[in-house]
Amino acid sequence: MNDATREVFGNIAPWMQVVFFGIMALSIGWPVWQVWTRARLWRKGQRDGFERSWRVRIQRLIIYALAQKRVHRKSLGALLHLLLFSGFVVLTIGTTLLAIAHDGPYDFHHGWYYLIYELTMDVFGVAFIIGCLLAMYRRAFHRKPSLGHNKSDWWLLGLLLSLGVTGFAVEALRMHYTHVQPWLAHWSTVGWLIDTTLLRGLDIGTARTLHLAAWWLHAILVAAFFATIPVSRFLHVITGPANIAGRPERPMGALIPLTIEEVERTGRTGVNTIFNFTRQQLLSLDACMECGRCEDACPATASNKPLSPKAVVIDLRGLMSRGGGDVHTAIRDETLWACTMCQACVEECPVLIGHVDLISDMRRDLIGEGKLSGPPTKALQQISNQSNPYGRPNSERLVWAEGLDVLTVDVNPGFEYLLWVGCAASFDPRAQKVARATAQLFKEAKVNFAVLGAKESCTGDPARRIGDEFLYQQLAQANVETLTRHKAKKIVTPCPHCYNTLKNEYPQFGGQYEVQHHSQLLAQLIGAGRLSNGTSTGEPVTLHDPCYLARVNREVDATRTVIGAATDAQFREMPRHGKKTFCCGAGGGRMWFDESPAQRVSCLRAQEALATGARTLATACPFCLNMMTDGMAGTQGGEKTKVLDIAELLLSRQNAK
């Protein structure tokens, strides 16, 4: 068994081996030089100052690069990528091991190792070829519009396919002229099959000549592949893992703060030229493989707005390749304003590109240049003047609680939970009912809670998402001071945007709290038996998961627990639910923008909800509540569908008993 092995370079004359190594050195040196040149462009970007731990980098590489977590899904694209990727990785490792065994001090390429090696290389070689064929099939017959494509892709796929085919040809011809014994040949299954069928009867001399020709062709194709990496889509095999490993560690919902020192140093409030982005962001532009997953998930693209997250990345990359320039010449202002900051693109991207950070940085510059007009400007002015985007006096913040005997922090300073009501539930007549339902449920469960009343201000979320970073910071600092003064430790809020800001962004300003969304506390109270279950068998219910709860903060169970307790009516999931939820259209400050009826994201979502056959649409966000109410009203068949917050649904169980 120990004799089991094979020749390496057996049919290749010594001078040919020298030529081969020369070609390989050039073909590897060229892409290294090209990537180095590209890296010099990335290094023109700004340092971001984030710490990166090696443990997290390695974890990320294992999860996203090696295990391809984001690529997994039931689709042809996912299958072919898995086959291509696994084949590529195993064949590369195998070839490297062969080189080490052949040229290193210890030849381990024999015995059981050799047999398993041969079988493994054949299996993954076949996977690689099938992956190539499926990729060609998809491009020819099933190419989705969002998938990047140009004619050179056919050459690239042809190159990969030829690499796989010539690899097997070399194996079969070598087996033929070396007369490999059958028991040994079976381990090189594909080579053996070709040898015993297609090469049957071929004389040894011809087999040697053909082997030499196939070997050289294979070697030249390998060299061509290396040379193509830096100037083609293949570049992502380097930049993808580099971006995955290097992306800053911070919660998905936390935008990067901008400091006054930075503004004074650079003279700008955001990004206006390509090299104002950070080095990591510039590298991320080169990691895009144009798969189109971000575009498929984008509500702005789906509702015909002038935004595709993929195009943003590609256009910025083009600007970097041209040596730099004003980002606003590459990305239109309308494109930037169209984003709802729902993070669906970020969630989908296999190489962890941060589209929202790119867009937010450019929005900050537009705000700095005074390029925003219309209703969102008014909302910002009202936040600045009245501490809420509705332009109402803060003294009216407790109107929603009339008759409920809700205590303020001054009356009940020993509160356990601070109920952060949020501007929408404080001032918007429809959302006020959510605040009332939440407070009634807390009272029923005997929760010791209090509200800030007139001392509550906007968290600053809309200002930050629109791009007015300093208005946001002003509000954040004032709110942190108020919360500290009243010794708030546990905060609960019915608004996922307030929840996200208080939980993920206030720590940037020294505010550390135990923050819960009302769905989480209600689910906890139900679990503890402090709120009873409903007994009604009503009409089917579906749930619209708010982006900033389900996707951004990974909370998908609490809302379902509350619905389960509120009603035993049939619960029907929409196709896009949980972390894959689809935006209602209100995020990113879009709540304050004018929108033509034909471009309403909420109508698309309403159609999805109606398709489940549910007659009640539950949600857990005052903004989603408003958007989905409008969406249902503007969608045929939606007029009779009830849109309720989960707190309202849970409270209504009492009436149904």
Interface pick for ligand SF4 out of 45, 125, 241, 309 (rule CB under 6 A): 309
- The residue within the footprint of ligand SF4, chosen from 299, 422, 496, 622 (CB under 6 A), is 299
Based on the shown chain and the rule CB under 6 A, indicate whether residue 175 belongs to the binding site for ligand SF4. no
Q: Given candidates 230, 292, 538, 622, which one binds ligand SF4 under the rule CB under 6 A? A: 292
Residue 196 corresponds to which tokens in the numbers above?
């015993």
CB of residue 642 to ligand SF4, shortest distance in Å: 27
**Residue 363 or residue 518: which is nearer to ligand SF4 going by CB?**
363
CB of 136 to ligand SF4, least distance (A): 20
Tell me the C-alpha to C-alpha distance, in Å, between residue 426 and each of 377, 398, 421.
Answer: 21, 7, 6
* 8 Å CB contact between 446 and 530: yes
Q: Does 624 bind ligand SF4 (CB under 6 A)?
A: no
Minimum distance from residue 207 beta carbon to ligand SF4 (Å): 44
Taking contact as CB under 6 A, which single stretch among the options 57-65, 95-103, 290-298, 432-440 is the one that binds ligand SF4? 290-298
For ligand SF4, the binding residue among 351, 362, 434, 620 (CB under 6 A) is 351
Q: Check binding of 316 to ligand SF4 (CB under 6 A).
A: no
CA 72 to centroid of chain Cα atoms: 13
Q: Are 160 and 229 in contact (CB under 8 A)?
A: no
Give me the sign of the Cα torsion angle 326, 327, 330, 336.
Answer: negative
Give me the amino acid identity at 181: Q
What kind and span of H or E run contains 343? none
What is the closest distance, in whole angstroms, from the C-beta atom of residue 272 to ligand SF4 in the complex? 20
Residue in 281, 303, 343, 479 binding ligand SF4, rule: CB under 6 A: 343
What minimum distance in Å lies between the beta carbon of 585 and ligand SF4?
9
Tell me: does residue 355 bind ligand SF4 (CB under 6 A): yes
Nearest distance from C-beta of residue 302 to ligand SF4, angstroms = 9
- Comparing CB distances to ligand SF4, the nearer of 27 and 553 is 553
Comparing CB distances to ligand SF4, the nearer of 147 and 521 is: 147
Q: How far is the CB of 601 from ligand SF4 (least distance, A)?
A: 9
Using the rule CB under 6 A, is 294 a contact of ligand SF4?
yes
Does residue 324 come out as left (phi exceeding 0), alpha (psi in the -120 to 50 range) or beta?
Answer: left
What residues numbered 195-214 form the site for ligand SF4, per CB under 6 A?
Answer: none
| Listed ranges 76-84, 284-292, 384-392, 493-501: which one lies at the site for ligand SF4 (CB under 6 A) | 284-292
What's the longest Cα–Cα distance across the chain?
100
Q: Which of 135, 342, 379, 604 binds ligand SF4 (CB under 6 A)?
A: 342
519: tokens are 């769905």
Secondary structure (DSSP) of 14-68: HHHHHHHHHHHHHHHHHHHHHHHHHHHHHTTSB-------HHHHHHHIIIIIIS-
Does the footprint of ligand SF4 cover residue 297 (CB under 6 A)?
A: yes
Residues in 453-512 that interact with ligand SF4 by CB under 6 A: none
Q: Is 81 in the site for ligand SF4 (CB under 6 A)?
A: no
For residue 357, state whether it binds ligand SF4 (rule: CB under 6 A). Answer: no
# residues contacting ligand SF4 (CB under 6 A):
29
| Residue 341 makes contact with ligand SF4 by CB under 6 A | yes
Q: List beta partners, residue 644.
A: 618
Structure token pair of residue 433 = 């009912």
Question: Please, are residues 506 and 634 in contact by the beta-carbon 8 Å criterion?
Answer: no
Q: Is 298 in the site for ligand SF4 (CB under 6 A)?
A: yes
Rounded to whole angstroms, how far apart are CA atoms 70 and 64? 7
Binds ligand SF4 (CB under 6 A): choice among 160, 271, 288, 498: 288
Residue/partner pairs of 179-182 with CB below 8 Å, 24 or more apart: 180/6
Closer to ligand SF4 by CB, 214 or 229: give it: 229
Q: Which is nearer to ligand SF4, 339 or 632 (CB)?
A: 339
On the 0-12 / 13-18 / 19+ scale of CB atoms within 10 A, 275 is buried
Question: 602 or 616, CB closer to ligand SF4?
Answer: 602
Q: Sheet containing 642-645: which strands, arranged edge to edge?
A: 541-543, 616-619, 642-645
Which amino acid is it at 157?
L
118 is an interface residue for ligand SF4 by CB under 6 A: no
The owner of tokens 């892709």 is 153
- CA 257/CA 248 separation, integer angstroms: 13
Q: Is 616 helix (H, G, I), strand (E, B) or coil?
A: strand
Q: Are 452 and 487 in contact (CB under 8 A)?
A: no
Segment near ligand SF4 (CB under 6 A); pick from 112-120, 282-290, 323-331, 500-508: 282-290
Q: Which of 290, 357, 505, 545 binds ligand SF4 (CB under 6 A)?
A: 290
Among 127, 134, 274, 353, binds ligand SF4 (CB under 6 A): 353
Give the integer Cα–Cα distance in Å for 448 and 412: 9
Query: In this structure, what DSSP letter does residue 505 have?
Result: I
Q: H helices of 486-621, where? A: 496-500, 518-527, 547-550, 557-566, 601-611
Does 289 help bind ligand SF4 (rule: CB under 6 A)?
A: yes
Which residues sit at the interface with ligand SF4, rule CB under 6 A?
A: 288-294, 297-300, 307, 309-310, 313, 339-345, 348-351, 353, 355-356
